Structures are given as C-alpha cells and as structure tokens.
Amino acid sequence: MNISNRIQSVPVSTIMELLTYSAKAKKLGKKVYHLNIGQPDIKTPEGFFDAIRGYKSKVLEYALSEGLPELIDAIRKYYKNYNIDFENEDILITNGGSEALLFTIISICDEGDNILVPEPFYSNYYSFCKSVGVDINPITTIAENGFHLPPKEDIIAKINSNTKAILFSNPGNPTGVVYTKEEIDMISEIAKEHNLWVIADEVYREFIYDGEYTSLGNIKCIEDRVIIVDSVSKRYSACGARVGSLASKNKKFIGSILKLCQARLSVPTLEQVGAIELYKTDNSYLHSVNKEYKERRDVLYNELMKIPGVICKKPSGAFYIVAKIPVKNADHFVKWLLSDFDIDGETVMPCPAEGFYHTPGFGIDEIRLAYILNSDDLKKAAYLLKEGLEAYLKIEK
Amino acid sequence: MNISNRIQSVPVSTIMELLTYSAKAKKLGKKVYHLNIGQPDIKTPEGFFDAIRGYKSKVLEYALSEGLPELIDAIRKYYKNYNIDFENEDILITNGGSEALLFTIISICDEGDNILVPEPFYSNYYSFCKSVGVDINPITTIAENGFHLPPKEDIIAKINSNTKAILFSNPGNPTGVVYTKEEIDMISEIAKEHNLWVIADEVYREFIYDGEYTSLGNIKCIEDRVIIVDSVSKRYSACGARVGSLASKNKKFIGSILKLCQARLSVPTLEQVGAIELYKTDNSYLHSVNKEYKERRDVLYNELMKIPGVICKKPSGAFYIVAKIPVKNADHFVKWLLSDFDIDGETVMPCPAEGFYHTPGFGIDEIRLAYILNSDDLKKAAYLLKEGLEAYLKIEK
C-alpha cells in the first residue's frame, strides 16, 4: 500500500508554504501587495456570464468529448485571424491548458523519455512530466540576456535518443520573454533535423508590448510536428473557466489525444457555452487589456531599475518579470518580507524564482514579479521591495 | 516524432464507431431508442442553475486547487448522513470522477503495476490505466450469477507482486450489481491481507432498488486504505458539470493527489458554485429519482424476461442491465439493428458489452442496456429488441 515513485517525484508546491506566511502576515493586520500570482485583476467579458445565465436546457448533459462544435469553430476562426490555418478537426477542447499539456506529454512520451524546455519555465511543466515518468531536459537561459535562447549548438548538445519534444511558453511565463522570428526558426530547424515535436504554449499570445510576435502556428515547414496549447484564462481573464485547447495538424496526434478526451468524457458544458462568447468579444477589449499591461510593465520595470543591484532586461510579453536581486537566498528574503518587514503596516510578496529552474542552484537569487496590480499599487509594491531589500541586506547573514 | 507506446495501447472508443451507424440511421429518418448511453433524462435540480446565474464576481478567478471550501464541506456533510466520517481535509474536488480515477492511478501505481478489477467494468478504467502504463488484472464475473464476485481464493490467486489495488464500481456500471455486505467484507479482508488499496467508485450510491447497501466508507478496519471516487453526474443528473471528488482518510494519499491538483490549478469555479447547491437539494429529489429508476428497472427487466434466450439476473442498482443474448456477435447485431432493421421507422440501440471485458472473447454475446428512458419508451425499446432479435436470428450466419 504505497505511494508511487512517480508521484513522490512530483514536487510539493513551494508557493503553498509561502502562502501560509502571507496568511499569517494578513492575520496580524499587514497589507500584502501580491506580485506572486498569475491571477489577473481584469474584468472577464460580460458575454461569458450572460451566455451561461441564458442557458436553457433543464438537463445538464455531457458535452461532446472533443468539445462543443461552436467553440471549436470559434477557436478555428480566432486562429485564422492570425493566419494560422486549422480545420475544426485539428482542435480539441481541454480542461484548461493544464489538461492539454498532461495529455500531450502522455501521448508523445513513454516513461524515461525527456522534453527540452528552456529554463526558467512554468513550474507545473515539471509536475505534469514527473507524474507520468517523463524528464525535463533544461535549456538554461539567463537574466542578463533577457532569457533569450542560447545558440543552436548548445541546444542540440542536450538532445539524446530519449528526447521527444521541445516545449516552451511564448510569451514566456515566468520570464516575459518573447522569442524573435530567428529563435522560432531555430527551434523549427532543430525540431526538423532531430525529429522532435514542438509544443508551443501560447496562452499569452495577446500580451506582446514591443516588436513582432511569431507563433509556431505560422511556421509552415514543420506544421505536422507543431502542437499549440491555448487557454482562455489570461486572454479573457477567465482563469476559473478552465477552458483550454489543443491544436495540431498532425492527425495521428489529435487522434491519440481524442482517445484520452473520450475516456474523461467531456469538458464542462456551461463553461464552454460561456467561452464561445469570449471568442466573440470585441477586439477593443484585448487592445485595452494590452495597453493596461504595457503601462504596468513599464511602471514596474522602471521602478525595478531604480533598485541598486537588480538585474533584468525589459520583458516584451506576458505579465511577468524575472529579476536577479542582490541577496543570497530569495526564498528567505520573501519569507522575511512577510514576517519581519513592513512600512506603515504594508509589505510586498514577490515569488522566489528557484522553483522555475530545473538545474540545481539556479534561480536562488531571483524573483518573479507578476504585474497584476494597477499602476499605483505597483509603484507602492516596488517601493516596498526597494526599502525591504535595503533593510534586508543590512541584516542578511 | 512518434506517438507513445502507452497512448497506442489506449483503445479507440468502440461506441464512437456505433454512433456513426446511429447517426446514419437517423439521417435516413429512423427513430432510434437509445439504451446505449449513461446520460440520464432527469432534470438537474434548479438550484444548480440558480446559483450560477447569481454569481456576482466580475472576475472569474481560479478556485483553490483542492476545491471550494463550501463544496468540500457540503460533501463532508453528505457523507456524514451515510455515517461515513470524513474531515474536510480528506476530500478533494476533481474534474469529474474521471480525473479522480486518473490521479489515483498515477499516485498509487508505477509503470508495470496492475489493479484488480471485476469484469465487466466501466471501460474507461482501462483507458485511464493504459494511458499511464498500468495494467488491469480482471476478476471475471458472469451474467448467470448476477455479476457477483467469485470466491475469495479465486481473487487472491490473481494477486502478484505488482498488484497495488482493487478497483470497482458499486453499484456497478455496466452490470447494476450491488455487492453484499459479505462481498465488501471479503474485499476488505483481501486488501488488508495483501496490502492493497481499495478504490471504490460509488457514483451510483443512491441508485439502489433492493436490499442493503454497504459503502466502503463504512468499513472502519481498512479506512487508511480506502479511496472513494464520487461525482454529482448521476446523483443529480448533472453530467455536464464535471464535478467529482476523491475522499480518503490516508493523509499520504491525499497529499499526493493534492500535488496533482495544484499542478492543474483548479476545477471550474462556477460549476463548483452550482454543485454546492446540488448537495442542498431536498432528499425528496433523490427519492423520486430512485423511485423512477426502480420502476424503469422493473419494466425493462420484465420485458427482457419475455425474450427467449436472454440471460440476466435482476440488477439491484445503477441504471444498467447487462444481458446475455442468443447471438454470436452482439456488436454485429447492434449494427444490424441500426442499419437493416426497423418497425414503422423505429429501432433500438443497445451497447455491445465486449468493450467492458478485459479477457479476450468475453462479452461478445452480451449487451448493456441503460434504462434512461421513461417507462413507455422502455417498453417500446424492449419490444423492438425482441422483434429485432427474432428477425436477426433468422438471418444470422
């Protein structure tokens, strides 16, 4: 009566321990500015709620395993606007991007296989992989270089006979990096030359603040090996809907995923009914959200640049910044901010970045900051970070 | 760029092929009485929809990974009514019973391990297991015996060093069997003596028509090894909500599952808000649903008994009957019913039972009938089955 080895290799969420610290701080009356989470404060488009309120059937039936046809069609049209040509049969609806990722890993990897992932990466990639016996094969990127990819030969050197895919988020969580056209082309070449799948997690596609964006969906020459993971969570500030999708022109892959979709029967019906309306949201919504985040990015980045010893490049996408800070241990620093520091009863909570790295020892002196607060609050939070850091460095052992 | 071996071992849903037959029949204007699916026709309690319509927040945020506290508390109280003592910390909300099962298999089995399951069984058990490299170790049960369990020594003979658990649905899908107190005690003894987990899928707990019901949750002496899978789908006719749960007093197990729950972030917020109300539904709802299904069970069983050559015992629970029929190949018979048979433009669609068996050759001459139609339609469906069978036997090669 044992717990499996694979589940033992799945890490306990480090953020959960920190949340007990922040809960304690709040209990003591402290105000905590949360820069640690990816939960946007933007309003979900009303159409989502209206559609669900208007649902008429008296029996809440299973949806089709592949997803509601109208939702699939809406997603096809959405991609079409980006010149990404999917057929409805290429798209499956999933329980968030999370299920899309887990099902993908199961379908392309057997136990002992590995997936190339630029680090730092969204830490749940690791949990999904380890839960089904798959390893992450990290491609290290660094703050000094804005977390852009290393040269092609460095990536190729990591590939072995068990390497099945390259997985990355673009724009990147946690780094906010947006890969250049050249980087995407390089990934495509590597995938083709080494017979790998490419899994592109593009849930932050609309969160680009400077320059061009190249979706993997636009790279025609490798379209049979591209898998796009998507979600309404960030795009429409509908994290709690848990509506994601997978898209691929590889019929064998989609057929494989469909078997898993059929086994778990369906994605919630009402959430899909709501999501159909999300995709009809006027483009001005996405533009104004983009404008808002861009402003926040600028505010936070500029404030960070005023803090001595902080190293980061201005990120171009998503709503995160990973910054190197002049401390020995960022986890200890964050706990200290929550338990031992305040200015007029207020403190700030960044997320220690070590959990986003696979290579031991990396990220210990880094934090991730999510700019999910309004600009005034962000300024306040950055001020608290600056003052906190200064005070901490005086007592750091 | 391959598909994994494990996904290749997951079977394509056989019912999907049949659905193309029924779609074709309908296109030709035939009326098809569906006895093949587990989608109830009972109204979902209004409270579910009302609660969701009344949801006030403007931002649809992630719920907690473990589930909404009010929902967990409602489920604790629900169990309490059955004298099953869980703490809130023993319960996790999942994306339907499906996710509960997949996460459980991942958490207690490594690749190459196996799980004892009485066959015929809910066929998706097989898909969940194979998708993560786990084998099903079948305990064969037969129609002549009403699908009750074989003697203890027969079950023990199947156990090997890779056997980690016993998994079963009770009341049973597809058989409708309700295990006796003696059978549950036998399972408990085996689990204790051979150090196995017991996974009890009790989603049909309220669908008992005769005699007593013993939940695994009532067996105190093995409470540290019991895992209860549950769902609102059938109980409240809310299949499309995809709200399930796991409950166990084993802290190590719950802690392991929680890691997977945290990795996939959360279960849809609104569906949980609705589900809280489901658990407040007046007991008269469950009683009237039970009464309705009991009547249907009697109608269908009595009609089946009038068909020459049909072998089945009267099932005591769920809303299914598995019957042996005097044909060589039930799959062929069902396809024939859809494509070559009708009376006044009407036909019937049972589900071939072979897919519910693991042992090759078993179930080929069996069908599963779901009594999810009203009594008049059920009578009509049984009549069509009787006439269809008679006609088919004349031409069967």
Q: What digits encode the pLDDT tens for the residues B72-98? A: 999 999 999 999 999 999 999 999 999
CA distance linking residue B275 with residue B244, whole number of Å: 10
How far apart are alpha carbons A114 and A340 in whole angstroms?
42
d(Cα B9, Cα A110) in Å, to the nearest integer?
Answer: 12
pLDDT of residue A14: 76
DSSP assignment of A122-168: -THHHHHHHHTT-EEEEEE--GGGTT----HHHHHTT--TTEEEEEE
Summarize pLDDT for B304-352 with one digit per residue, the tens. Answer: 999 999 999 999 999 999 999 999 999 999 999 999 999 999 999 999 9
- pLDDT tens digits, B128-170: 999 999 999 999 999 999 999 999 999 999 999 999 999 999 9
For residue B397, the model assigns a pLDDT of: 75
CATH of domain A46-278: 3.40.640.10
Do the beta carbons of residue B321 and residue B315 sit within 8 Å?
yes
pLDDT at B14: 76
**B17-46: per-residue pLDDT in tens?**
788 899 999 999 999 999 998 788 899 999
Note whether A116 and A163 are within 8 A (CB): yes
Smallest Cβ–Cβ distance between A107 and the set B7, B252, B253 belongs to B7
The whole-number average pLDDT for the span B240-263 is 97
Determine contact: B326 vs chain A, CB below 8 A: no
Contact criterion met (CB < 8 Å) for B252 and A3: yes
| B266 vs A58, A109, A242: nearest CB | A242
| Backbone conformation region of residue A112, classed left if phi is above 0, alpha if psi is from -120 to 50, else beta | left
Tell me what pLDDT residue A234 has. 95
Domain ranges of chain A: 5-43+284-395, 46-278
| Mean pLDDT, rounded, for B284-305 | 96
Q: In this complex, do B43 and A49 lie within 8 Å of one another by their Cβ atoms?
A: no
The pLDDT value given to residue A82: 95
Q: How remote is the C-alpha of B240 from its chain's centroid?
A: 15
In chain A, what residues touch B159 (CB-CB under 8 Å)? none
Q: Does A2 touch chain B (CB under 8 A)?
A: yes
Predicted pLDDT at A12: 87
Predicted confidence at residue B191, as pLDDT, reads 98
pLDDT at A335: 96
Residue type, A112: G
| Fold category of A5-43+284-395 in CATH | Aspartate Aminotransferase, domain 1 (3.90.1150)
Q: Are B361 and B394 in contact (CB under 8 A)?
A: no
Closest CA to B71 of B206, B252, B223, B230: B230
> Any chain A CB within 8 A of the CB of B63?
yes
A269, burial (CB in 10 Å: exposed 0-12, middle 13-18, buried 19+): buried
Q: What is the pLDDT of residue B163?
A: 98
DSSP per-residue codes, A238-293: -GGG-EEEEEES-HHHHHHHHHHHHHT----HHHHHHHHHHTTS-HHHHHHHHHHH
User: Which value, to the nearest 10 degrees, does the dihedral of the CA atoms of residues B155, B157, B159, B160 take?
Assistant: -170
Residue pair A142/A362 in contact (Cβ under 8 Å)? The answer is no
In chain B, which residues have their Cβ closer than 8 Å to the Cβ of A133? 110-111, 133
The model's pLDDT over A216-250, given as tens digits with 9 standing for 90+, comes to 999 999 999 999 999 999 999 999 999 999 999 99
Dihedrals φ, ψ of B220, to 5°? -60, -40
- CA atoms within 13 Å, Cβ hemisphere of A59: 14
A75: Cβ contacts below 8 Å, ≥ 6 apart: A86, A91, A93, A230, A245, A247, A279
Give the A window 248-277 contacts with B, CB below 8 Å: 252-253, 256, 259-260, 262-271, 274
For A11, counting Cβ atoms within 10 Å of its Cβ (0-12 exposed, 13-18 middle, 19+ buried), the class is middle
* pLDDT on residue A373: 92
For residue B63, the one-letter residue type is: A
- Give, for all 397 residues of chain A, the pLDDT tens digit: 799 999 999 998 877 778 889 999 999 999 999 999 878 889 999 999 999 999 999 999 999 999 999 999 999 999 999 999 999 999 999 999 999 999 999 999 999 999 999 999 999 999 999 999 999 999 999 999 999 999 999 999 999 999 999 999 999 999 999 999 999 999 999 999 999 999 999 999 999 999 999 999 999 999 999 999 999 999 999 999 999 999 999 999 999 999 999 999 999 999 999 999 999 999 999 999 999 999 999 999 999 999 999 999 999 999 999 999 999 999 999 999 999 999 999 999 999 999 999 999 999 999 999 999 999 999 999 999 999 999 999 998 7
pLDDT at B38: 77
Cβ neighbours, 10 Å, residue A19: 16
Q: Which amino acid is at A312?
A: C
Q: Is B125 on the interface with A (CB under 8 A)?
A: no
How far are the Cα atoms of A154, B126, B214, B284, B322 from residue A195, in angstroms, in the given order?
17, 31, 54, 60, 47
Three-state secondary-structure class, residue A235: coil
CB pair distance less than 8 Å for B10 and A260: yes
How far does the CA of residue A395 sit from the closest CA of chain B (Å)? Answer: 34
SS3 call for A48: helix
Q: Say whether residue B23 is in contact with chain A using an 8 A CB cutoff.
A: no
Q: What is the pLDDT of residues B184-223, one digit of tens each?
A: 999 999 999 999 999 999 999 999 999 999 999 999 999 9
Q: Point out the residue among A41, A224, A263 whose CB comes nearest to the CB of B128.
A: A263
Residue B53 contacts A where some CB pair is shorter than 8 Å:
yes
B127–A262 C-beta distance less than 8 A = yes
Cα–Cα distances in Å, from B123 out to A80, B7, B119, B208, B353?
Answer: 38, 15, 9, 22, 10
